[in-house]
Amino acid sequence: MDRWWAGIDWSWDMQDFVVINQDGTPVVHLRVRETPAGVREILDALRGLNTTSHRYSRRQVPVAIEDGNRLIAAELRRHRQPLIVIPPAVTARYRGRHSAAVSKSDRTDAALLADIIRLNPGRRQTVPETSDHAQAVAVLARAQNHSAHTARISMVRLRAHLGLYHPAAASAWTGMPGGLRRAEARAVLALAPTPALAAALPKRTLYDTLAAAGRIRLIDQEAARLRDLFAAPQIRQRPGTETAMGERTRLHLAELNTACRQAEHLAAETDAAFATHPHYTVYRSFPACGQLVAARLFAEIGDDPDRFTTAKGLRAYAGTAPITWASGSSRSVTHRSVCNRTLRRTAHHWAFGALNLSPGCRALYDARRERGDGYAAALRHVANRLLTGLHHCLLTGQHYDEAAMFRP
């Protein structure tokens, strides 16, 4: 029976759809819009490839695309069409294999995407069958992660600006969790964006501001500390320049407030959406797997039971499994750089937090450090163990058990 492979080169206006046969020759080319009619054209073209065999189905034709988040990709997945996502970097490497004069067009790129999956059978996996619930959680978790990252960038900009004219405020919350992102820090800066205004703040005003921002412990001591810090002599800019810098501080502070509010709101929305998923209790049973860590792990792993058949595949996808380079008599084992970077960062934070909550994780970390591993390498071993346990628990539906995870 004949076989075909298809590719879609996506663009804002028109999508080029190309089907190639076993010899790599294009047999179908369509230019369609990202509309229901365009999707019907693609599906009709796939159905009409073979009219002689009753065993033929359009679902036997894999479709390659560079961005699996597009609407056309979502609609094809809804019709159960096999979809394979090819990273643009892979397409760029393949572009020069057919001719010395490397050229680019939408039609040739669509044919190239189809040719990549034709030449690499079994090496390119279809998009995992993630449920709509899991996809919704992933969207919220990634949006929250982006907002939190934006808040960190805004805080760095604000701190750098304060260091130019208001060093007391720049260092007032150093060492505290969140730093300038703390609600009390933002409230005090909104009240006194310049050294002159900060030095004139009485202790009672600082006390009321801290209480209104949500602080409930040691408010009197904190108000006294800030009053003494702001009243201490410091180098100052000229009055006009200082006032202008204070206005710029208000701008940076408004950006930081917006990012922090969005991050907090999305964190609550993400946890509420994830709490109704069957995997929620499994993730939360692990040490240091709080609301955000659990949601971010779930967002990148998904709930397709066939996506990672072994724990080794999950570890490789997370970038915690080592990779071996061997050539001739030389052999080296290094960390993996090609991976899901968001999952790798989340696994790193997860492993770090588990050191204080799991005796087994702490013992494994200490053992790896004694063997000569660095900080990051030892944490990767801890993340490997945690991901292995998570993979087992997701397959079996069990919850975390410290004794079973770290046997004597």
Report pLDDT for 115: 92
Where on the phi/psi map is residue 66: left (φ > 0), alpha (ψ -120 to 50), or beta?
alpha
pLDDT at 366 over 90: yes
Q: Which pLDDT band holds residue 68 (cuts at 50, 70, 90)?
A: confident
Highest mean pLDDT among 47-51, 255-259, 307-311: 255-259
Q: Which pLDDT band holds residue 94 (cuts at 50, 70, 90)?
A: confident
Angstrom distance (rounded) from CA 91 to CA 89 = 5
Contact 323, 368 (CB under 8 A): no
Other CB atoms within 10 Å distance of the CB of residue 28: 16
pLDDT at 322 over 90: no
User: How do residues 187-225 score in pLDDT, each as one tens digit?
Assistant: 999 999 999 999 999 999 999 999 999 999 999 999 999
Low-confidence winner among 14-23, 33-42, 123-132, 261-270 (lowest mean pLDDT): 123-132
pLDDT at 98 over 70: no
Closest listed residue to residue 365, CA positions, set 376, 345, 396, 103: 376
Q: Which pLDDT band holds residue 92 (cuts at 50, 70, 90)?
A: confident
User: How do residues 225-240 score in pLDDT, each as one tens digit?
Assistant: 999 999 999 999 999 9
pLDDT at 381 over 90: yes
CA angle 188, 191, 195 (to 5 degrees): 85
The b/e string for 175-202 (b: 16+ C-beta within 10 A; e otherwise) is: eeeebbbbbbbbbbbeebbbbeebbebe
* Element housing 83 (H / E): strand 83-85
Report pLDDT for 103: 67
**Mean pLDDT on 315-342:** 85
Amino acid letter for position 124:
R
Contact 202, 227 (CB under 8 A): yes
pTM recorded for the entire structure = 0.87
> Among residues of the chain, what percentage have pLDDT more than 90?
77
**Mean pLDDT on 59-86:** 91
Q: How far from the centroid of its chain's Cα atoms is residue 47's Cα?
A: 37
Q: Which pLDDT band holds residue 310 (cuts at 50, 70, 90)?
A: very high
Report pLDDT for 328: 78
Angstrom distance (rounded) from CA 294 to CA 299 = 9
Q: Which pLDDT band holds residue 131 (cuts at 50, 70, 90)?
A: very high
pLDDT at 382 over 80: yes
pLDDT at 100 over 70: no
pLDDT at 293 over 90: yes
Report pLDDT for 193: 96
Low-confidence winner among 48-57, 280-289, 320-329 (lowest mean pLDDT): 48-57
Report pLDDT for 88: 87
Q: Measured between alpha carbons, how far is residue 38 from residues 32, 42, 172, 294 in Å?
A: 5, 6, 59, 38
Question: What residues form DSSP beta bridges with 9?
Answer: 16
Q: Which pLDDT band holds residue 102 (cuts at 50, 70, 90)?
A: low
Low-confidence winner among 47-56, 279-288, 331-340, 391-400 (lowest mean pLDDT): 47-56
Report pLDDT for 11: 83
pLDDT at 371 over 70: yes
